Amino acid sequence: MGMELGLRTAVAATVLCLATGGVQAAGNAEHPLTEHWSFNGIFGHYDRAEAQRGLQVFLEICAQCHGAKYLRYGDLADLGYDEDQIDAIAAQFEVEDGPDDEGEMFMRAARPTDTFPEPYANEKAAAAMNNGKAPPDLSLMVKARHDGANYIYALMTGYDEPPEELELSDGLTYNPYFPSHQIAMPQPLWGEDVEYADGTETSIEQEARDVVTFLAWASEPGMERRKNMGLKVMLFVLIMTGLFYATKRKVWKDVH
């Protein structure tokens, strides 16, 4: 009977075992605050207004140093931009194309099928201009950090005066949410550095929130489709399982 009674124990054990899969190196970084995000939960979606403002923050500030190479301008249709708007956004950027019929490379305005611009020619150039550390590509950043959305929000809003006993290395800035507390990226968001197209008042928190929503979308543009399909699949599987159970009961009725 132990095995039968053990079912609940086993399930609990399995959950425990699975939980260890998410084990993280916490380092000595402060644990990020837990914000509420529109994309959390089984009904989660990307808040379009936040994501559009986030795109503006990304293009005007982050993109100075960071790429997002897995994004194409055309993907922005997801965020509610129409074709003309996407053409206009793409056209602000120049990309190298070619070779042409004379064998020459040439610059042209970006099109919706182009990926977001790379700010530096190569990683060495990027590192040389940024305290020796190349700014990482941001397309996957929200998925590439533990509790990524909260972490990035905390990092953006967490720049502070360093404590007295801390001796900062050359060119680094204090941020208690960064694993070593010393980050090569100087404070990027200041609260009055963008003028939102939709008139929203700017603050460091507002900009951080918006850019995180944008980056969450960038890391997985298909999330809304996934969760939508998931709800239908779960409903289907629940009904199917109920029917199987009823059939099982009926078939086995005479055996017990």
**Interacting residue ranges for other proteins, rule: CB under 8 A:** 1-4, 6-7, 9-10, 13-14, 16-18, 20-25, 27, 42, 70, 136, 139-140, 143-146, 148, 179, 219-222, 226-227, 229-231, 233-234, 237-238, 240-242, 244-245, 247-248, 251-252, 255-256
How many Å apart are CA 10 and CA 27, to the nearest integer? 32
How many Å apart are CA 201 and CA 224, to the nearest integer? 28
Take residue 234 and report the two structure tokens written for it.
Answer: 């779960």
The strand pairing partners of 107, in sequence order, are 96
Which residue type sits at 152? I
Of 225, 70, 241, 236, which Cα lies nearest the Cα of 142?
A: 70
Contact between 83 and 30 under an 8 Å Cβ cutoff? The reply is no
Least Å distance, CB 113 to other proteins, is 12
Closer residue to other proteins (CB): 128 or 144: 144
Contact between 129 and 143 under an 8 Å Cβ cutoff? The reply is no
Closer residue to other proteins (CB): 70 or 93: 70
Closer residue to other proteins (CB): 56 or 139: 139
Least Å distance, CB 247 to other proteins, is 5
Closer residue to other proteins (CB): 171 or 222: 222
Which residue type sits at 181? H
Least Å distance, CB 73 to other proteins, is 14
Least Å distance, CB 245 to other proteins, is 5
How many Å apart are CA 190 and CA 157, to the nearest integer? 9
Closer residue to other proteins (CB): 9 or 169: 9
How many Å apart are CA 50 and CA 196, to the nearest integer? 11
Closer residue to other proteins (CB): 68 or 204: 68
Closer residue to other proteins (CB): 195 or 228: 228
Provide the pairing of β-strand 182-183 with 173-174.
antiparallel
Least Å distance, CB 102 to other proteins, is 29
- As to burial, measured by CB atoms within 10 angstroms (0-12 exposed, 13-18 middle, 19+ buried), residue 36 is exposed
30 secondary structure, DSSP code? P
How many Å apart are CA 249 and CA 236, to the nearest integer? 20
Cis peptide leading into residue 112 (ω within 30°)? no
